[in-house]
Structure 1
């Protein structure tokens, strides 16, 4: 029985991803004629949107560096924070964010920092990003909720954000982590490994910036593709933010591949035809990939600068 459950636990996430992918690509195939009528060109809107997607990652790196600085009571240079975060961002294509996590742990060991403290910084970084995404995008659900209909199940992953609020209570968060460590017979976390709730709250405000950059960047890309109305900027940006966080919560999918697009299409259809929603998300995925290449170049550049300083 236990073996069956383990197999099911491994197979089920991929089955869900496969189902989403099948429905998504079937929708594309059904609208190929409409897609052929869309004329794409690289203009200032697409370039600007792609740059904003890259800047969102850099801003996130600076915020993560701030978290590490607070937890370790040491000053983490902005270049190092951005460099390591950019490398971890590119490694997100490894399912489960394993590559992203191990990269930061490896850096912590080289920098002489506590592995546990940096592990907590990884948790804080992801939790604050998810909560920021929910804060900026949940109002959209009330606007398009009726239009989603049977697709409301796509929003279920957002329920994960509710228990994440525990990080704002040091006592509860410490109790939970130490209880887990006790089960695996590992030493407990020290009080210094956690961040005061007041500082977390201020950082939470900061984490709104990367999400806003993502939302505006997507709206710019959408405007280039289909020419959206000014009144659609906020709902389009919110749709992308919401789709992105759901894609991120699909931890077994490399980079949220396919999940983000499926959710974005569902959220955009109350405003534009399905064919246009699909082509916008496809172009946005392409721009996000180019953005990831820019992030990789930022890492390479900063890494070369670091080597020259040695």
Structure 2
């Protein structure tokens, strides 16, 4: 195991790993270049720029949410170090397998004397917080969407109480302790607090609102009315589609599931065609945000290592 870890920590291996992740992310865009080009042509240029900016802010919100959790279970990590670890590791999620962002976060954290189990738990918790806050916002879609929506996705409302209870620090700390014990790992440096968990949830919710704003803005230029109800519907619809796509684990990356859920939510506000367009662009913009922030963080990390 020590030999494997030493190989993973080698600068050449890290650089190659980052390069592969960036190539995988870019390929995800290039593979759909014709559809992306057509989608971009359907929107004013400034709307696309605004969409990219909102994706950058969204990724930043997820980083802050993760950092609150990371700092809550151990010694505080400086903001610049947290940014380098998170943004660089997030690019790895575009590699096949779905675990490489966890590996990258653990190894980069270890280079800054952060226990691997702490990095792993913090990243896993940030995903759980994102899912639960997404479920809560998805209620907006169930309440404001078409009448038949509750029949198809009402089961999500049943998951909300379970998720909220699981996020209560005393409950969550016991779950974490039990999980680490089963895996034969030591306990974390500290336990989650109400403040840390609450702030992480608030920043995760802010991220959902930003993505809802992105979707809403693009849909306005696809024929949807510009109003507060449609903004709430778009935000709730995005959260619903994302959480359904994540929870329906037997569909790779939620492909198709998110689009179907979002189209069902917005069926009374806009056609299914525009929904497909904006969902595609939203994914592209988020990928661009992940890659650009990851590259900048990687460059900053290499410069810091040379000092």
Residue in 2 that maps onto 1:133: 134
**Partners of 2:142 and 2:150 within 8 A in 1:** no
Distance 1:159 1:80, change over 3 A: farther
Residue in 1 that maps onto 2:205: 208
Distance in 1, Cα, partners of 2:240 & 2:150: 17
Distance 1:135 1:47, change over 3 A: same
Distance 1:169 1:279, change over 3 A: closer
SS of structure 2 residue aligned to 1:207: helix
Distance 1:51 1:252, change over 3 A: farther
SS of structure 1 residue aligned to 2:145: helix
Worse overlay, 278-287 or 158-167: 158-167
Residue in 2 that maps onto 1:287: 282
Distance in 2, Cα, partners of 1:229 & 1:141: 20
Residue in 2 that maps onto 1:84: 85
Matches within 5 A, 1:136-151: 136-144=137-145, 146-148=147-149
**Partners of 1:261 and 1:282 within 8 A in 2:** no
Residue in 1 that maps onto 2:192: 195
Deviations 1:144-197 (A, max 9, x none): 2523275x15x546655543334444443343344444545x14524x342112
Distance 1:143 1:291, change over 3 A: closer
TM-score by length of 1: 0.74
Matched, 1:175 2:170: no
Distance 1:167 1:103, change over 3 A: farther
Distance in 2, Cα, partners of 1:107 & 1:252: 30
**Partners of 1:96 and 1:253 within 8 A in 2:** no
- Offset at 1:219? 0.4
Distance in 2, Cα, partners of 1:305 & 1:129: 27
- Offset at 1:300? 0.8
Q: Name the one with the larger helix percent.
A: 1
- Offset at 1:214? 0.5
**Partners of 1:221 and 1:280 within 8 A in 2:** no
Distance 1:70 1:208, change over 3 A: same
Distance 1:41 1:166, change over 3 A: closer
Deviations 1:244-294 (A, max 9, x none): 22223344555433221111111111323xxx2233233332332133123
Residue in 2 that maps onto 1:223: 220
**Partners of 1:170 and 1:197 within 8 A in 2:** yes
**Partners of 1:140 and 1:238 within 8 A in 2:** yes
- Offset at 1:132? 1.9
Distance in 2, Cα, partners of 1:254 & 1:83: 28
TM-score by length of 2: 0.74
Unpaired segments ≥5 residues, structure 1? 1-35
- Offset at 1:129? 1.2
- Offset at 1:99? 1.9
**Partners of 2:63 and 2:87 within 8 A in 1:** yes
Aligned length: 266
**Partners of 1:69 and 1:76 within 8 A in 2:** no
